[in-house]
Amino acid sequence: MRDNSWESKADEFSLYGFTDLPSVHERGTVVVTHGKGPYIYDTHGRQYLDANSGLWNMVAGFDHPGLIKAAQDQYARFPGYHAFFGRMSDQTVMLSEKLVEVSPFASGKVFYTNSGSEANDTMVKILWFLHGAEGKPQKRKILTRINSYHGVTAVSASMTGKPYNSVFGLPLPGFLHLGCPHYWRFGRPGETEEQFTARLAAELEATIITEGADTIAGFFAEPVMGAGGVIPPSKGYFQAVAPILKKYGIPLIADEVICGFGRTGATWGSETYDFMPDAIISSKNLTAGYFPMGAVILGPDLANRVQAASEAIEEFPHGFTASGHPVGCAIALKAIDVIMNEGLADNVKRLSGRMEAGLAQIAQNPNIGELRGVGYMWALEAVADRATKTLFDGKLSVSERIANTCTDMGLICRPLGQSIVLCPPFILTEAQMDEMFDKLDKALRKVFAEVA
Ligand code: PLP
């Protein structure tokens, strides 16, 4: 029955992303009005500690004065422009220089989008463009991994290794998904972690040989899988796959949309896991969530080859109206400064051990099978039986119940599969972390008592 509440209006006029509509009807939408530090507030004045940082991105919290001022100043100075036809804003020039400077690359080039999905799409198109220009138009297949998340556009959803995209008839042909490097879940009985990694590397090489290296455009990987349920790579994974990709001339693209700019405790996830990609996909933290923006950062080899290809073809026929938007770029310049020089990245480094220790305590609960993560991204996987790693019956919706119970207690965390994910803003203090532990622990105990 329609009434005049925010919740009813939200339901009547809006569609949600990734939302189970019956459950949201039952519980009511959380309509958010404002935020303060890591907290958000709804239309009823209720406060929630957002241990999801919005969607991983609001790493500086919800009211950072420096970021707000950067936006206001740039709106007053020059509120919008594009990056087409040999023109771009001064802010865009400065941001590209900064991104190459903070990247692991000695030199490079940056292309801007409005989102992480579009940045992955753009990277795929850059590879297709490049290989085509180099006389290999058949070098088009894209390799990713099962459980990876790369976005929602037709191409990035095809890259995403999740079964739910079948409702769209995706993936498109030519998008191949290799094994997920999650040892705890996919390691075989008696197999060591090193053997597991070697098996995945062998699978990659066998796929390249079967498909033909000359048909494969690139390999994309999140350093830590985020929306797949926070899955750090198995031991030595990138050290095993990178040389194989190099041997067959297949670019390695790090999708750092979540990991980039501090989430894993270093500027890049590829730094934390000690590998050198050929290009980086960035978004989310790039503007600390204060502007929709994505970026493709090409390392020297790809940048030089794309430059040569563009000169040969005369034009790189791609770009979004808001690519390199000056307000977004001004915010990103400030966000990078805030994350790297105002103690946010340091906070993650300083407190990630504390976060791990607190969650390890909670993970002693017999219905937690695995605690996994790094930096400020962690997951606790719920199990009906820890010894056999057996999951709860899906009909019990255990992780959703835990997340809903947390929400009722004023803590936002995210159910992913049967895991609960915690990826708080980088500004989280010790006291706020304790609040998170306390509420999470209570919610887990309550739900496990109901279902176990
Ligand atoms: N890549 C990764 C690793 C992501 O986690 C996401 C979003 O969560 C994307 C790409 C897509 O980004 P967007 O939602 O901005 O399109």
User: Which pLDDT score is estimated for 3?
Assistant: 84
The rounded Å distance from CA 121 to ligand 1 centre is: 11
Residue 313 banded pLDDT, cuts 50, 70, 90: confident
Of ligand 1's atoms, which has the minimum distance to the CA of residue 284?
Answer: 15
Q: Is the peptide bond before 171 cis (omega within 30 degrees of 0)?
A: yes
Query: Is the confidence at residue 1, as pLDDT, over 70?
Result: no
Q: How far is the CA of 23 from the centre of ligand 1 (A)?
A: 24
Which protein residue's CA is at the shortest distance from atom 1 of ligand 1?
150
CA of 452 to the centre of ligand 1 (A): 34
CA distance 292 to 42: 22
Q: Edge to edge, what strands does the sheet with 368-374 contain? A: 368-374, 377-382, 419-422, 414-416
Per residue in 183-207, pLDDT (tens digit) is: 999 999 999 999 999 999 999 999 9
User: At 23, is the pLDDT very low, low, confident or very high (cuts 50, 70, 90)?
Assistant: confident
Q: What is the pLDDT of residue 411?
A: 98
List every span in the chain annotated with CATH 3.90.1150.10: 31-63+345-450
Query: What is the number of the ligand 1 atom nearest to the C-alpha of 152?
Result: 16
How many whole angstroms from 422 Cα to the centroid of ligand 1? 17
Of 192, 167, 176, 116, which Cα lies nearest the Cα of 142? 176
Q: What is the C-alpha to C-alpha distance for residues 38 and 410, in angstroms, rounded to an integer?
A: 12
- 233 and 224 Cβ atoms separated by less than 8 Å: yes
> What is the token pair recorded at 441?
């622990």
Ligand 1 shell residues, CB under 6 Å: 115-117, 120, 149-151, 222, 226-227, 255, 257-258, 283
- Average pLDDT value for residue range 278-294: 98
Task: Please identify, by atom number, the ligand 1 atom nearest to the C-alpha of residue 117.
Answer: 16
Nearest to 100 by CA among 274, 250, 303: 303
* In the chain, ranges of CATH 3.40.640.10 domains: 68-342
Residues in the chain: 452
Question: How does DSSP assign 135-180, residue by residue?
Answer: T-TT--EEEEETT----SSHHHHHHS--GGGGGGT-SPTTEEEE--
Atom of ligand 1 nearest to the CA of 225: 3
Pocket test for ligand 1, best of 115, 255, 283 (most atoms within 8 A of CB): 283
pLDDT of amino acid 175: 98
8 A C-beta contact, residue 334 and residue 158: no
Average of pLDDT values for 163-190?
97
Q: What is the pTM of this model?
A: 0.98
Residue 24 pLDDT exceeds 90: no
pLDDT at 2: 66
Q: What is the pLDDT of residue 25?
A: 83
Give me the mean pLDDT over the 402-431 stretch. 97
Model pLDDT, residue 452: 79
The interface predicted TM-score (ipTM) is 1.00
Q: How far is CA 292 from CA 19, 89, 116, 406, in A?
A: 21, 17, 9, 28
Distance, CA 120 to ligand 1 centroid (Å)? 9
**How far apart are the C-alpha atoms of 21 and 260, rounded to whole Å?**
32
User: Is residue 40 pLDDT above 90, yes or no?
Assistant: yes
In whole angstroms, give the CA distance from residue 53 to residue 56.
5
Residues 204-223: tens digit of each pLDDT? 999 999 999 999 999 999 99
166-171: average pLDDT: 97
For range 264-284, the mean pLDDT: 98
Q: What is the pLDDT averaged over residues 311-329?
A: 94
Q: The CATH number of 68-342 is which of 3.40.50.970, 3.40.640.10, 3.30.420.10, 3.30.70.260?
A: 3.40.640.10
The Å distance, Cα 206 to ligand 1 centre, comes to 29
For the chain, the average pLDDT equals 97
Chain mean position to CA 87: 30
User: Which strand ranges, in their side-by-side order, compose the sheet holding 216-221?
Assistant: 109-113, 294-298, 279-282, 252-255, 216-221, 141-145, 175-178
What are the φ/ψ torsions at residue 97 (nearest 5 degrees)?
Answer: -60, -45
Tens-digit pLDDT profile for residues 49-97:
999 999 999 999 999 999 999 999 999 999 999 999 999 999 999 999 9
- 100-138 pLDDT tens trace: 999 999 999 999 999 999 999 999 999 999 999 999 999
- Quote the CA–CA distance of 81 and 92 in Å, as a whole number: 10
CATH of domain 31-63+345-450: 3.90.1150.10
**Ligand 1, atom 7: nearest CA belongs to which residue?**
151
d(CA 445, ligand 1 centre) in Å: 32
Give the contacts of 73 (CB within 8 A, at least 6 positions apart): 330
Q: Looking at the DSSP assignment, which residues form a beta bridge with residue 126?
A: none
Please determine, for residue 333, whether its predicted confidence score (pLDDT) is greater than 80.
yes
Share of the chain above pLDDT 90, in %: 94
